[in-house]
């Protein structure tokens, strides 16, 4: 029975990850009007580190055993926490809407597939079926965010600055995923995440010190911070670490396609943002594309 329960939890991990990760743009909507992006992230990282340290102490979790493992975890932390989150939050703060920012970041599966096809071994290269799924998923993604791309939202505008931040986030999450899969050996997710967050905080500190906007604590910013720490970092980032360790890089990256459609559904539930027929078609097409990517291939005949 225990093995069966564990198997069910493992199968649910991708769905739970997508649901949690999708709330990131909702949190940005609540938190960014009241705080500068890098200061918000620095406080988030420090609070998350504190929570993990308490958890590690109570559970007597082992830390990574070699200095090289610490370095590899630090690199992934700088890329996947510092670079990715810093880029996304700076782009949103700079006026880029959630539609375009999520679309840019969600190009990650295509970049991952291109890299794997170019340099990976035959066992890890992207198959024709997976390529078809990636292209279908991206087409569906465009349909999902098309309304926001065309109509925009109040104050939504694109500049070279916020566009560059979004592209930086895309490059960092792609490089971080590939680097972790290649170099980070499996270890306890709690200690691994703590090392990653420490490295990310070091990267964010100089950017936070340059910000002059005050952090205004109120119900919205406090709520955004609480969910950022407990849901996104302790929950979402930990699940992402486990998924990368357990799965193929292309399959894990393809889950990012499901984030904007899930965000659209959450925004409809919370803010009554309309969902059109085109959006529904896009969600279905994206889900089908991701299914093609993550479905195990047929074993080759001997």
Break the chain into its structural domains and give their ranges: 35-294
Q: For residues 83 and 143, give the distance between their C-alpha atoms in angstroms, rounded to a whole number.
A: 27
Best-predicted range by mean pLDDT among 106-115, 148-157, 177-186?
Answer: 177-186
Does residue 275 contact residue 268 with C-beta atoms inside 8 Å?
yes
Per-residue pLDDT at 122 exceeds 60: no
Q: Which residues of 260-271 are buried (b: 16+ CB within 10 A; e: fewer)?
A: bbbbbbbbeeee
Closest CA to 178 of 64, 292, 76: 76
Please give the backbone phi and psi of residue 271, each rounded to the nearest 5 degrees, phi first: -115, 0
Residue 34 is classified by DSSP as G
Per-residue pLDDT at 4 exceeds 70: no
The interaxial angle of helices 189-210 and 84-93, nearest 10 deg, is 40
Q: What angle do CA 42, 169, 287 make, to 5 degrees?
A: 115
Per-residue pLDDT at 251 exceeds 70: no
The model's confidence at residue 139, banded by pLDDT at 50, 70 and 90, is confident
Residue 63 is classified by DSSP as P
User: In 106-159, which ranges are continuous DSSP H helix?
Assistant: 108-119, 128-151
Q: What is the pTM of this model?
A: 0.81
Token readout for 12 is 């649910």
Does residue 202 contact residue 86 with C-beta atoms inside 8 Å?
no
> Is the torsion defined by CA of 246, 247, 249, 254 positive or negative?
negative
Residue of 156 and 281 predicted with greater confidence: 281
Q: Which pLDDT score, from 0 to 100, does residue 2 have?
A: 45
> What would the mean pLDDT of 40-61 be, rounded to a whole number?
95
Per-residue pLDDT at 188 exceeds 80: yes
Q: For residues 19 and 16, give the distance between their C-alpha atoms in angstroms, rounded to a whole number.
A: 5
Rg, C-alpha atoms of the chain: 19
Q: Which pLDDT score, from 0 to 100, does residue 154 have?
A: 47
Token readout for 187 is 């270890």
**SS3 of 211, please?**
coil
> What would the mean pLDDT of 251-270 be, rounded to a whole number?
75
Per-residue pLDDT at 250 exceeds 70: no
Per-residue pLDDT at 300 exceeds 60: no
Q: Which pLDDT score, from 0 to 100, does residue 1 have?
A: 46
Place of tokens 């560059």: 164
Model confidence over 205-232: pLDDT tens digits?
999 999 999 999 999 899 999 999 999 9
Q: Which pLDDT score, from 0 to 100, does residue 299 have?
A: 44
């Amino acid at each position: 029975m225990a093995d069966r329960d564990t198997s069910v939890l493992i199968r649910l991990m991708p769905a739970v990850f997508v649901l949690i990760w999708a709330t990131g743009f909702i949190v940005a909507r609540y938190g960014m009007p009241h705080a500068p992006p890098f200061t918000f992230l620095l406080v988030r990282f420090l609070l998350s580190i504190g929570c993990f340290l308490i958890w590690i102490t109570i559970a007597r979790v082992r830390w990574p055993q070699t200095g090289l493992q610490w370095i590899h975890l630090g690199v992934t932390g700088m890329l996947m926490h510092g670079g990715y989150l810093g880029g996304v939050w700076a782009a949103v703060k700079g006026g880029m809407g959630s539609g375009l920012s999520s679309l840019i970041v969600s190009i990650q599966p295509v970049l991952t597939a291109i890299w794997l096809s170019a340099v990976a071994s035959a066992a890890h290269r992207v198959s024709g079926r997976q390529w078809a799924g990636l292209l279908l998923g991206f087409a569906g993604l465009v349909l999902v965010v098309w309304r926001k791309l065309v109509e925009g939202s109040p104050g939504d505008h694109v500049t070279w600055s916020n566009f560059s931040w979004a592209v930086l986030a895309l490059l960092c999450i792609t490089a971080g995923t590939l680097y972790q899969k290649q170099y980070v050996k499996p270890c306890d997710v709690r200690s691994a995440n703590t090392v990653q967050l420490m490295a990310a905080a070091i990267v964010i500190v100089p950017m936070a010190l340059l910000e002059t906007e005050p952090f205004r604590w109120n119900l919205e910013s406090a709520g955004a911070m609480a969910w950022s720490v407990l849901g996104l970092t302790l929950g979402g980032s930990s699940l992402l670490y486990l998924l990368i360790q357990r799965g193929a890089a292309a399959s894990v990256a393809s889950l990012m396609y499901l984030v904007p459609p899930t965000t659209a559904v959450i925004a409809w539930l919370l803010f009554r943002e309309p969902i059109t027929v085109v959006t529904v078609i896009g969600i279905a097409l994206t889900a089908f594309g991701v299914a093609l990517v993550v479905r195990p291939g047929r074993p080759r005949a001997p």
